[in-house]
Structure 1
């Protein structure tokens, strides 16, 4: 294995993922220190109030709770099914005698050896399996929450509103993590055609993630004012 045929893959692909990891570390830091500046922090704050509001009149709002949790479970189920189907397809490709044709070798940069092609597919398979694991655990916690929220709230009960909020938070956080792991496979799909596209795709995804994860300045000021009043 010669260094010259692999140096682009060994340089650009790790840099692309370091960019992605650095953004999510920064997002986690912002969510912890300035929760109302991110949609993740705002949604977590709203879920705590949602659990309390549903428990106050659960007999009348049980259908609303069931419908809301059904939507969350269906979303996680869809992503888990997609991830495991893609994993099964990649496993079939890896285990078969399929040889990838290389009509674009003169155009696409990077290594095209059998080892590198196998590495690309194995990496994709691993990422999809991790996404599947996170979504199945999310479904597990959401199913637990569906049962526990309908229990009677007594003074001696261990199922407290704080415990229910923690269960719901674990389910939604695992759903978010599973989605982000799934999205991280998009640049790797382009890695099949060369490492340059991996770096370009990772950089192009940053403004998309930023617009989805952070609220605008005016909304942030209003939320901060309300938090001060609370």
Structure 2
């Protein structure tokens, strides 16, 4: 009987994870091989041009660089703060003596025993912790860029290429933190049953596809020229 209750969880939840992971593997392949067909690739190329332009004309654009980087740090800080606050709330729920599964016993499909409820909350906690870690590391790298981008151009060590690499590491970690944060949405719905997890994952993939992929002539022409840069 218990296996029958767990059947939907054992099938739909792993399938939802596979859908999300499969989409991001496909996106990574496109970013590496056809960068100008993706928003991520175009933005990465634009940031390299921006760093090069700022460092060449640093006397006039140093304030612009600092303000732009400050805004990026604020965004990562907001996401990191939100993640750690959610972690604290989940930790309080897990450690409380109140049985959070009681109101849901007769209203959801799938398993809702004590172990399964604990698994749902612990999975959420792990995701938010990883999101916090990615955003914290992103802040670390972009804080270094904040100093290095104003270095004089006669330096043979701190070059625009080196600064661009640090900036890309920061944005890569920021993007990873955001995607992990988004992947927690289906897990939140898992509290109310595995069917909602599957439906949410299915609906998120076309939404992310439209946000990640460029359409039309803008993605043609120079994919091969910068494929090795992204």
Structure-1-length-normalised TM-score? 0.93
Equivalent residue, structure 2, for 1:185 = 184
Q: Quote the Cα distance in structure 1 between the aligned partners of 2:154 and 2:98.
A: 62
Q: CA deviation at 1:196?
A: 0.5
Equivalent residue, structure 2, for 1:22 = 22
Q: CA deviation at 1:4?
A: 1.8
Equivalent residue, structure 1, for 2:151 = 151
Alignment length (residue pairs): 226
Q: Quote the Cα distance in structure 1 between the aligned partners of 2:218 and 2:154.
A: 38
Equivalent residue, structure 1, for 2:45 = 45
**Deviating 4+ runs (over 4 angstroms):** 222-227
Equivalent residue, structure 1, for 2:8 = 8
* 1:144-176 deviation digits (Å, cap 9, x = unpaired): 000111122225x31111110100000011000
Q: CA deviation at 1:96?
A: 1.3
* 1:164-211 deviation digits (Å, cap 9, x = unpaired): 010000001100000000000000000000000000000000111001
Q: Quote the Cα distance in structure 1 between the aligned partners of 2:203 and 2:146.
A: 38
Equivalent residue, structure 2, for 1:32 = 32
Q: Quote the Cα distance in structure 1 between the aligned partners of 2:104 and 2:126.
A: 26
Assess, with a 3 A threshold, how the Cα gap between structure 1 residues 134 and 225 changes in structure 2: closer, same or farther: closer
Note if contact 2:35-2:223 (Cα within 8 Å) is conserved in structure 1. no
Equivalent residue, structure 2, for 1:96 = 96
Q: Quote the Cα distance in structure 1 between the aligned partners of 2:117 and 2:145.
A: 43
* 1:1-43 deviation digits (Å, cap 9, x = unpaired): 9322211111110000100000000000011110000000001
Equivalent residue, structure 1, for 2:207 = 208
Q: Quote the Cα distance in structure 1 between the aligned partners of 2:223 and 2:21.
A: 28
Q: CA deviation at 1:107?
A: 3.8
Q: Quote the Cα distance in structure 2 between the aligned partners of 1:104 and 1:149.
A: 54
**CA RMSD after TM alignment:** 1.7
Assess, with a 3 A threshold, how the Cα gap between structure 1 residues 18 and 225 changes in structure 2: closer, same or farther: closer
Q: CA deviation at 1:223?
A: 5.9
Q: CA deviation at 1:122?
A: 0.3
Note if contact 2:101-2:112 (Cα within 8 Å) is conserved in structure 1. no
Q: CA deviation at 1:123?
A: 0.3
Q: Quote the Cα distance in structure 2 between the aligned partners of 1:104 and 1:172.
A: 40
Please state whether the residue corresponding to 1:176 is helix, strand or coil.
Answer: helix
Unaligned residue ranges in structure 2 (runs of 5+)? none
Equivalent residue, structure 2, for 1:67 = 67
